[in-house]
Structure formats: structure tokens, C-alpha cells
Amino acid sequence: MNSDLPTQRLLFFPSEDVSDRKRQVIDDFVNSIEDFRSWTICPPKFVDEASKIAEGSADQSILTVGGALQIFSATANGSLPRNLDEKNLDDVEALIHAVKRLSREQSLSFEFELDGVYVGAIGDFGSRVGSRPSSVLEEPSESIAVKADAVFAPV
């Protein structure tokens, strides 16, 4: 594949604290979708990492458990060929549908970040969200929230 093109990391992770059992469920899930399809760059990878953040005078760590999909950057100089842009979209849609299924099966809510920027969430927000943003797509028992300026689709 075109390894000289810039890439971005689409990260998904549970919105709540993760127990050892949920950590294993997420790891198993990421492993199960590895051969789910032919991914454009590579299959999603399991993420279990601590990130240091400076909070006042004390350093703190944030633990992230989830998965990450490497996709080509659709915003870098507008130079991504249309066929790769469409394959990116297919990869992202396949991942979102798989995470949506996991969310439903495990009663977990997930958030998505693209290179560290929040772009959306999947889950049951009914009891936790006072007013839903207009960008939330409702289904019978779950919601998908997508940030309006998220770059997931081809231009």
C-alpha cells in the first residue's frame, strides 16, 4: 500500500472504567475482527496504554483500553486518491458497525478519537445525557453521536 501517505489513528475505547473482564472482552473483540475483512492499511490493534498528563504540579496517568485503526489522512493536502478515501470510509464504517454490536452485546458505551480529537460515541446515553446534541442518530436502545466536523466520509 502507499506507505508514503500520511495516516491517522482512529481510537475507540469504553466511556467507563474497565474491569479485567471487560479488558479481556475488548482484547478478544479486536482479535476477532482482525480477519473480519481485508483492511486497507492493517487490522485494528488492541490498545492498553497509559498516557502521562501534567495536572498542576503532579504528573498523572490516564489508562486507555480499546482499539485503534490506522487510516490514511483524508485532510493532508487533499491529495488522498479517491479509491483510498473510499476504502478508508469502508474500514471506518465496518469498525463502527462492529463496535456498535459489541456495545449492544456488552452494555458498554464507546468513544472515538481521531488523532486525539473526540469525534463521536456509541452507546446507551439515555440515562446519562440531559439533552442530546442534534447530531445524535437514535435507534431503539442505543445512540451514535458524531461530532459535526469529524472527517469520516470522502469529500
Residue 42 maps to a domain:
yes
Q: Give the total number of structural domains in the chain.
A: 1
Q: What is the pTM of this model?
A: 0.75
The dihedral of CA 42, 52, 116, 124: what is its sign?
A: positive
Q: Which residue has the higher pLDDT, 87 or 55?
A: 87
Residue 78 maps to a domain:
yes
**What is the CB-side half-sphere exposure of residue 62 using CA atoms within 13 A?**
9
Question: How many percent of the chain have pLDDT more than 90?
Answer: 55
Give the model confidence (pLDDT) of 18-70 as tens digits: 899 999 999 999 999 999 899 999 999 999 987 766 666 566 767 789 999 99
Residue 155 maps to a domain:
no
Give residue 118's domain range: 7-146
Residue 151 maps to a domain:
no
Q: Find residue 100's DSSP bridge partners.
A: none
Q: Which residue has the higher pLDDT, 25 or 81?
A: 25
Residue 154 maps to a domain:
no
Residue 126 maps to a domain:
yes
Q: What are the start-end ranges of the H helices in the chain? A: 20-32, 82-106
